[in-house]
Structure 1
Amino acid sequence: MGRYVDELLPALLAEGADLAVVAQAHDLGHYRALLPGVDVLAAPAAVARPPARLLWEQAGLPLLVRKSRADVLHSPHYTMPLAAGLPVVTTLHDATFFTHPEVHLAVKRRFFRTWTRISLRRARRCVTPSAATRAELVREVGADPSRIDVAHLGVDAARFHVPSAAERAGVRAHLGVTGPYIAFLGTLEPRKNAAGLVRGWVEAVGDRPDPPALVLAGGRGWDDQVDAAIAAVPDHLTVLRPGYVPLDLLSGLLGEAELVAYPSFGEGFGLPVLEAMACGAAVLTTRRLSLPEVGGDAVAYTEPDPASIGSALRALLDDPVRRRELGEAARARAAGFDWRACARAHLAAYRAAAGA
């Protein structure tokens, strides 16, 4: 979500949008630096707590928006004020709360299912990051496809690129790893299937003379299966959990890996896959939901069970030519996903909402 907002807003400015941004108090400095000359409005400090934020979104945000004299309000994460007093565009990032309810906490599942339905009914337009997500909302929720606009996310080539020697060395120093490794990047939540990746990786590398480490980068999340899977890893194999990796090290993390594995059960878009592709990495992912829409023929695919993951990892590790070909194809395909194009798709949705 942070990447989406932080990349979209400057791209909207570059496309000529007239913006006013509402941010929490602790983010004011960030957005004022990111968006020079833009009016950045402060929400009350109390909205740092989710219940207060949701209440303020209904009662306080509409007043602030009306004072800004905006033509359209864009709510970028499922929820929206029900009495905004102007057209609202809401982003619905994925449909897995309906298609894969078992991978979400029950309270989160209920919340986002409810708000997805409300926004589909009440927002003037909705935006999804992939055609797959739009199709799932139509199929699962009965959404009207004519009121949903697809805006593929982009990749910042200045940040995600084939890493230099210095960037490769920098991420190795950060991780404390000297040998080969397989990388995963994402929050460790059940949907990402990190536990299945751990088990498949053990099957793939356990008998190799120089087994690559597995780097699980990203927030800890709430997947209680990951710890159990790691506890069963043989002593001669190495799993690294560095937590959040700074943005300036991500190109090194992804591009220096033997391959990047992202065996998710389903994504609304799959930004880590695209970012790894832009870094020239060979990527292994699944054909679930939007992931083929992003990866196309430039990535390798597996089923999400550990045996299939292990077999696919083994095949790629044994075939450096295939990994190199995938990396080259991935870079070419990633170049077609641009934040300016994403911004233009959003502007079209705003114009449609205002015109309607």
Structure 2
Amino acid sequence: MKSIEWLSCVERGCGIGQYSELIAQKLLSKDIKVQLHRKGNPNEYTLAFPHRSLRNLRNYVAPFYLKKHLDHLGTKSDVFHADNIDAFTALIYSNKAKGHKNFVTIHDVIPIACAHLNWFQDKYYRFQLKQSIEKSDIIFTVSHFSKKDIIKHTGVAEKKVKVVYNGINHNDLFPNKEKKENKIFTIRYIGGLGVAHKNATALIEVARILEKENIPFLMEIGSGKADLTPLPTLVEKYNIKSVKFSGFIPDDEKRSFLAEADCFLFPSLYEGFGFPPLEAMACGTAVVSSNCASLPEVLGDAALFSDPNPELMAQNVIKIYKSKTLKEDLENRGIEQAKKFTWENTVNELLNHYQS
């Protein structure tokens, strides 16, 4: 294989942006020529294309700027791989659409499954999704749950969709060698707050139940812009004393935030993969999770699962609080479960599909 062009409409900071960045780095470490085309700063393997955000329209205009960038690209490669349907839209309308294999990663179909888009957004999303399905050589997705959901909502042939799991960056996310005992039982969360499928209000409901049960605890919610959600108002309404909004957790602080918790609570209703609880496991923290979507598939037998009912999830948290043996067992099982997911495995599987 001569070279791979990896295409993205987003910067490194978001989830899909990190997915592209880490895969590009791993390909490069295997002495494979790879060029990542994306917004953001250039480096030895990244070509940045100019892009105007136009505020709320940035997701709709980014493919136009990527398409212009590709039209002026002089290199010829064996493989073009778009990290999402927006980047694939740019590819198929560029002059680089023919003469090589075109692949797309569809991480999930949350906009359809959870129906949270307005009329225009929904039409545009479905247009991009249809183009990606019809004009790609292979569709990659990140879990068997996502594969089934993509097939369910689009009717694409099963054989065209290949599952390649995401990885965990174990160089950055690992357990504390000697985990210190917190003065107070500490529950933590990282993830979205403003979209309904994240079910973030369940965090506050769980905290309310724990306070009623007289469980001494601290719940730290790590996510940006909590003040733009109903959560702080809910905390005030219930007069909850044990919840703290910690704001956005930078990458260089994520390991300590996760590793120093006693329990990671994840009440999400829909995940195509589910990075946060798996990252918590990699850091040696016991996980309480909903049993929704891809989460049982990815987390295996290393979490305490229940329906995303606050009462049931609170009872699982209490089990960990009351049993040091259970807590340590979940921590150890979580570490082993997280080891199954590496970017080395991800890239090897992608290369096998490319070469076949």
TM range (shorter): 0.7 to 0.9
Mapped partners of 2:63, 2:180: distance in 1 = 42
- Map of 1:127 onto structure 2: 140
Contact 1:198 1:230 survives alignment (8 Å): yes
| Structure 2 unmatched runs, 5+ | 1-15
Which deviates the most, 270-279 or 183-192?
A: 183-192
Equivalent residue pairs, number: 330
| Structure 1 residues 268-319: Cα deviation after superposition (integer angstroms, max 9, x where no partner) | 1001111111111110112211111111001110211222222222222222
- Tell me how far apart the structure 2 counterparts of residues 222 and 92 of structure 1 sit (CA, whole Å): 31
Q: Which structure is higher in RCO with an 8 Å CA cutoff and minimum separation 6?
A: 1
The CA distance in 1 between the partners of 2:176 and 2:72, in whole Å, is 43
Report how far residue 132 of structure 1 moved. Answer: 1.0
Q: Provide the secondary structure at the position in 2 that maps to 1:85.
A: coil
Q: CA deviation at 1:127?
A: 1.0
Detail structure 1 runs of 4+ shifted over 4 Å in the superposition: 104-110
Task: Tell me the distance in 1 between the aligned counterparts of 2:348 and 2:228.
Answer: 36
Q: Deviations over 1:144-192 (max 9, x none)?
A: 1211121111111121111256x979xx9xxxxx633200011213221
Residue identity matched to 1:99: A
1:63 aligns with 2:71: yes
Measured in 2, the distance between the counterparts of 1:93 and 1:75 equals: 11
* Structure 2: distance between partners of 1:168 and 1:191: 34
Q: Which amino acid aligns with 1:128?
A: T
1:101 pairs with 2:115: yes
Show the counterpart of 2:162: 149
* Structure 2 contact 24–35 (Cα < 8 Å) conserved: no
Mapping for residues 1-356 of structure 1, pairs under 5 Å: 1-24=16-39, 26-28=40-42, 32=43, 36=44, 38=45, 40-46=46-52, 49-58=58-67, 60-65=68-73, 67-79=74-86, 80=88, 81=90, 82-83=92-93, 84-86=96-98, 87-102=101-116, 108-163=121-176, 179-188=184-193, 189-208=195-214, 211-220=216-225, 224-235=229-240, 237-352=241-356
Larger mean Cα displacement after TM superposition, 298-307 or 200-209: 200-209
- In structure 1, C-alpha distance between the alignment counterparts of 2:320 and 2:335, rounded to whole Å: 18
Letter in 1 for 2:285: A
8 Å CA contact retained: 2:291, 2:306: yes
Amino acid at match of 2:201: A
Change in 2 beyond 3 A, CA 1:255/1:205: farther
Cα separation, 2, equivalents of 1:101 and 1:44: 32
Closer/same/farther in 2, CA of residues 268 and 180 from structure 1, 3 Å limit: same
Could you say if the C-alpha distance between residues 112 and 313 of structure 1 is closer, same or farther in structure 2, counting changes exceeding 3 Å? farther
Shift of 1:108: 4.8
Give the distance between the partners of 1:198 and 1:348, measured in 2 at CA.
45
Name the SS for the 2:103 alignment partner: strand
Structure with higher helix content: 1
- Is the contact made by 1:15 and 1:343 (CA closer than 8 Å) also made in structure 2? no
Does the 8 Å contact 1:284/1:301 carry over to 2?
Answer: yes
Give the structure 1 partner of residue 12 of structure 2. Answer: none
So what's the TM-score if we normalise by structure 1? 0.84
d(CA) in 2 for partners of 1:268, 1:23: 23
Label 1:125 to 1:200 Cα distance change in 2 as closer, same or farther (>3 A): same
SS at match of 2:64: helix
CA contact (8 A) 1:128 1:134 kept: yes
State the superposition RMSD in angstroms: 2.5
Structure 1 residue aligned with 2:5:
none
Q: Structure 1: give runs of 5+ residues left out of the alignment.
A: 173-177
Summarize the Cα distance change of 1:68–1:253 in structure 2 as closer, same or farther, 3 Å threshold. Answer: same
CA 1:231/1:350 → structure 2, altered by over 3 Å: closer, same or farther?
Answer: farther
Q: Which amino acid aligns with 2:23?
A: L
Aligned residue identity for 1:96:
I
* % same residue: 21
Structure 1 position 105, deviation (Å): 6.2
Amino acid at match of 1:133: S
**Structure 1 residue aligned with 2:9:** none
- Does structure 2 retain, via aligned residues, the 8 Å contact 1:286–1:302? yes
Contact 1:194–1:263 (Cα < 8 Å) also in 2: yes
* Whole-Å separation in 2 of the counterparts to 1:299 and 1:275: 12
Partner in structure 2 of residue 175 of structure 1: none
Query: What per-residue deviation string (whole Å, max 9, x for no partner) do you get for residues 201-230 of structure 1?
Result: 210233325x21111112337973423432
Task: Quote the offset at 1:47 in angstroms.
Answer: 5.9
